[in-house]
Amino acid sequence: MADSETFIRLEECRGHKRARKRTSMETALALEKLFPKQCQVLGIVTPGIIVTPMGSGSNRPLEIEIGESGFALLFPQIEGIKIQPFHFMKDPKSPTLERHQLTEAGLLDNPELRVVLVFGYNCCKVGASAYLQRVVSTFSDMNIILAGGQVDHLASLTAEKSPLGVDAAGVVGLSLSGARIQSATVLLSEDVTDEKAAEAAMQRLKAASIPQHNTVGFMFACVGRGFQHYGAKGNVEADAFRKLFPGIPLFGFFGNGEIGCDRIVTGNFILRKCTEVKGEDLFHSYTTVMALIHLGSPK
């Protein structure tokens, strides 16, 4: 994940805005050369970044709302766990999603599916937001964790052989499958406006009792939150997370709309199906979605 300023600067170096798609593709290819051939890369560009600096998972996570920033989160091969990237591009000529596409991505007919991280890109384009909702609706009624949001554009997907047009819109993400995965999400609504309320939301997340080893945290926040939302005080939500989860690294972004709800999935126990409220309650603005994903205990 990288913030928009990083890519804008690269484009300006080329002297023309339309260099974006070429620059993004070249950046993706350069990154992919650093990794083993079987490593799959998914890259997105967002207005801002949440990152835990390298060194220790207990380092203070930073909400970087202004300036160039980015991070790479690498998942090792883990026995019993499958992580699959997916990409559905909005195509006016073929508006329907084929069932086999969802099955191949691990999103349907997959009893071990536990978590889906999902991101809509270029959602300001006509029909793009509705397309995102249509994609998510195909798997939102399952007993899984859903979290993500709307980002500026797609920077990289290993499977792409040619650069996307600047106006291309679609949905990308990761499906995480495996009986050992445990996960939980909480939603910080627009009414959460001070440190005390933010900590109370993190207490709800802690009450899920997700193991804190082999666990990563995600934060998907609206660009309207951050230091402006908290009366010019910065890093409020990331600090509240660190207070209750001292050893879990936190990553994420400031985006243009959030996806998620209060939910726990641990083994056979599910607290609240998101569809108990209406499906559109998965989609929010001026909120933050916090997620924990536990990838199982080492054998």
H-type alpha helices, the chain: 4-13, 20-34, 99-104, 128-137, 195-206, 226-229, 236-244
Q: With 60 as the cut, is the pLDDT of residue 13 above it?
A: no
240-266 average pLDDT score: 93
Q: Are 257 and 230 in contact (CB under 8 A)?
A: no
Taken in order of first residue, the domains within the chain and their CATH numbers are 182-294 (3.30.1330)
Query: Sorting pLDDT into bands at 50, 70 and 90, what band is 280?
Result: very low
Task: Note the pTM of the prediction, 2 decimals.
Answer: 0.89
